[in-house]
Amino acid sequence: MSSKGRNPQKTAGGALKYRIGGIALTWILLGFMMVWIVLPLLWAVLSTFKTPIEIYKVPIRILPSRFNFGNYVKVLSDSRFPRYLMNTVMLTAVTTLLTVFVSMWAAYGFAQMRFPFHHTLLLLVLVPRLIPRISLVIPLYRTIVQLGLLNTYAALVITYTVTSIPFAVWILTDVFRSIPREIGESAFMDGANLLRLLWRIMLPIAIPGVVAVVIFTARESWNEFPFVLSFTTSAELRTLPYQLFLFRDTLGIEDWPLINTFAIITILPLLAAYFFFAKHVTSSIVRGAVKL
């Protein structure tokens, strides 16, 4: 049938139905995903106010019969908790600073300079990131033992940083690539050296990317478990994830309210930091995707 024989009202009505159907399907899928994600998290949070007996009662109740803050008091009043928290904060802060400092030099070179095998080398930087972290434990352990760094903060800082740099280089490379090269050339013509160019000019422009690197690196360092488990034996070097693992392992019958309380307290600083910097993280991802 030719286009002259079509009814414009029917065509418009059909398009409207497809659009409404698409929107409805999108909201249904989003609603299902939200329930899938939020419901377990909600159960974990509400279970922190329950007693172990309530967790195992049948039928299962989502809301506690009485909001009890005893689990939070028990976790926070543990005399060893400040030590675990301090270790986690220190390792995360040092690793994040070193990762940003090292990766910004490599990222600037890949983004603003041209040299042979440029794209091949950038791809090779990401290869260690593709290897499962657990498969690196044995070779790293032998190296750390030979260097005499076993059971030290240095071993954790080095391994955390080395495994964080590849992803940071990739993020910052796209961010630096979005900055016009004329800015750097003008700075060099005005007498600026490379350190001043990076610190005073490039980094302020690349703040969204730097914030994204800080968030992702801090998240991985904060939650890191295989390396601290393999390279430390002293209780003085334990981090929050390590203690959570030991905490669960030594309870015998699982005290899920207490375990969930410890887990929730562990991730709260990360959640607070992410929501505070969420705008910068999203901006960086979008800038890297469109490669301005």
19-67 pLDDT tens trace: 777 788 888 888 888 888 888 888 888 889 988 888 877 777 778 888 8
Max mean pLDDT range (29-33, 194-198, 219-223, 277-281): 219-223
Q: Is residue 56 part of a domain?
A: no
Same domain? 201 vs 255: yes
Q: Is residue 52 part of a domain?
A: no
Total Cβ atoms within 10 A of residue 170: 21
Same domain? 28 vs 89: no
Q: Is residue 269 part of a domain?
A: yes
Sign of the CA dihedral 219, 120, 159, 169?
negative
The DSSP annotation for 141-206 comes to HHHHHHHT-TTSHHHHHHHHHHHHHHHHHHHHHHHHHTS-HHHHHHHHHTT--HHHIIIIIIHHHT
Q: How confident is the model at residue 278 (pLDDT cuts 50, 70, 90)?
A: low
Q: What is the dihedral of CA 156, 158, 159, 165, to 10 degrees?
A: 130
Q: Is residue 54 part of a domain?
A: no
Kindly tell me if the per-residue pLDDT of 275 is higher than 60: yes
Same domain? 34 vs 124: no
Kindly tell me if the per-residue pLDDT of 12 is higher than 60: no
Total Cβ atoms within 10 A of residue 129: 15
Q: Is residue 104 part of a domain?
A: yes
Same domain? 93 vs 154: yes
Same domain? 200 vs 232: yes
Same domain? 9 vs 116: no
Phi, psi for residue 193 in degrees, rounded to 5: -90, 180
Same domain? 38 vs 81: no
Same domain? 10 vs 126: no
Same domain? 36 vs 92: no
Where is average pLDDT lowest: 147-161, 203-217, 230-244?
203-217
pLDDT of residue 160: 94
Same domain? 20 vs 85: no
Same domain? 23 vs 135: no
pLDDT of residue 6: 55
- Give me the domain span that covers residue 255: 70-290
Q: Is residue 53 part of a domain?
A: no
> Residue 99 in contact with residue 165, Cβ under 8 Å?
yes
Total Cβ atoms within 10 A of residue 100: 20
Per-residue pLDDT, averaged over 122-149, amounts to 85
Burial 246-256 (b: 16+ CB within 10 A, else e): ebeeeeeeebb
Kindly tell me if the per-residue pLDDT of 274 is higher than 80: no
pLDDT of residue 157: 95
pLDDT of residue 151: 92
Q: Is residue 61 part of a domain?
A: no
Per-residue pLDDT, averaged over 261-274, amounts to 86
Kindly tell me if the per-residue pLDDT of 222 is higher than 90: yes
Rounded Cα–Cα distance for residues 93 and 266 (Å): 16
CATH of the domain at 88: 1.10.3720.10
Kindly tell me if the per-residue pLDDT of 288 is higher than 50: no
Kindly tell me if the per-residue pLDDT of 172 is higher than 80: yes
* Total count of domains within the chain: 2
Q: Is residue 64 part of a domain?
A: no
Same domain? 74 vs 148: yes
> Residue 250 in contact with residue 161, Cβ under 8 Å?
no
Mean pLDDT computed over every residue of the chain: 82
Kindly tell me if the per-residue pLDDT of 136 is higher than 70: yes
